[in-house]
Structure 1
Amino acid sequence: MSTQAENLSLGLQGEALAVRYLSSHGYRVVMTNFKVPVGRNRAGAAVTGEIDIVALEHRTLCFIEVKTRRSEAFVPVIAAVDKQKMRQITRTARVYRRLFAVTDMAIRYDVVTVLAPRHAEPVITLTKAFWNEASLKKRVWTSDKWMN
């Protein structure tokens, strides 16, 4: 199996484990692998956004990113969720909320990490409210200071 195919397979396994984990912890999974066009990049090419899992925890709509790795030898699994990824998920979540008319519901951005060594049981970690939309606002330079 090629490295790319192996990574895809590992990612799908991680997402399946995450769905089972979330369901067993009181989440109601609404949708998996929500994909939608979210705009264009600087070169004008269409950009597609994806949210791995959309779920409800009580009355909160959660947009959940799943990251799966075999090892944390070089970097923690959660480090793969960088600011660019957060912005892309946030844009996609806005489209989701607009498409499904979600206007008066609390929302949250969570991350599930799956550490899946080859010869050991996977370790699943849920980080609730890993980021919020306000933390992603771009700062603008004015003559005397940074502005949000």
Structure 2
Amino acid sequence: MPEVIKSLLEHSEPQLKTTSEVGKIGEETAANYLIGNGFELVAANFKVPVGRNRKGVAVTAEIDLIAIDKETLCFIEVKTRQSELFSTALSAVDIRKQRQITRAARIYRKTFNITDITHRYDVITVVLAKNKAPQLEHFKGFWSESNFKKNIWIDELER
């Protein structure tokens, strides 16, 4: 085994929980943070079909948390890691993930007839390192819907 990999494995902390358990703890931590900072929590784990991929398989998107910050509706992606040794939690919010959440948020706003409300897309990262308090960072307005404008989406909102 190459020395670099061996060294990383020796110094990495053991993974104590499954990915879904870590995610749930991260979402609960983020929700408590939001409430503690004056946000009104509206929904959690909003799932909706958003289309099909190139192979024709249905694609479902999930918005981890939906909250109101003063007059702004916030669609929040929560990314949780037990360690950032190999990659940061923020790096997992790639363009594909942003596009899926944007589509789901449009469907959410259309479903509840709130298409004209001010909204934004936030990311909260949570690192749950062993024997340490959770480290949380909130990135308000991490991306913009204008990154993904398509005329068909605009037409769908007007119907």
TM-score by length of 2: 0.81
Give identity over the alignment, percent: 50
1:95 aligned onto 2:115: no
Q: Give a deviation string over 1:86-112, Cα, whole Å, max 9, x none.
A: 001001101101111112210100000
Q: Give a deviation string over 1:30-49, Cα, whole Å, max 9, x none.
A: 00000011111111111111
Segments of structure 1 that go 5 or more residues without pairing to the other structure are 139-148
TM-score by length of 1: 0.87
Runs (4 or more) in structure 1 with deviation over 3 Å come to: none
Partner of 1:17: 29
Larger Rg: 2
**How many angstroms apart in 2 are the aligned matches of 1:74 and 1:41?**
29
**How many angstroms apart in 1 are the aligned matches of 2:52 and 2:149?**
19
Q: 1:61 aligns with which of 56, 73, 85?
A: 73
1:36 aligned onto 2:48: yes
Partner of 1:135: 147
Indicate the SS of the match to 2:61: strand
**How many angstroms apart in 1 are the aligned matches of 2:68 and 2:127?**
24
- The structural deviation recorded for 1:57 is 0.3
Indicate the SS of the match to 1:50: strand
**How many angstroms apart in 1 are the aligned matches of 2:110 and 2:61?**
14
Partner of 1:104: 116
- Residue 54 of structure 1 aligns with an amino acid whose one-letter code is I
Partner of 2:134: 122
Q: 2:87 aligns with which of 37, 51, 75?
A: 75
**How many angstroms apart in 2 are the aligned matches of 1:103 and 1:46?**
25
Q: What count of residue pairs does the alignment treat as equivalent?
A: 135
Residues 83 and 136 of structure 1 are in contact (CA less than 8 Å); yes or no, is this contact kept in structure 2?
no
Decide which structure has greater strand share.
1
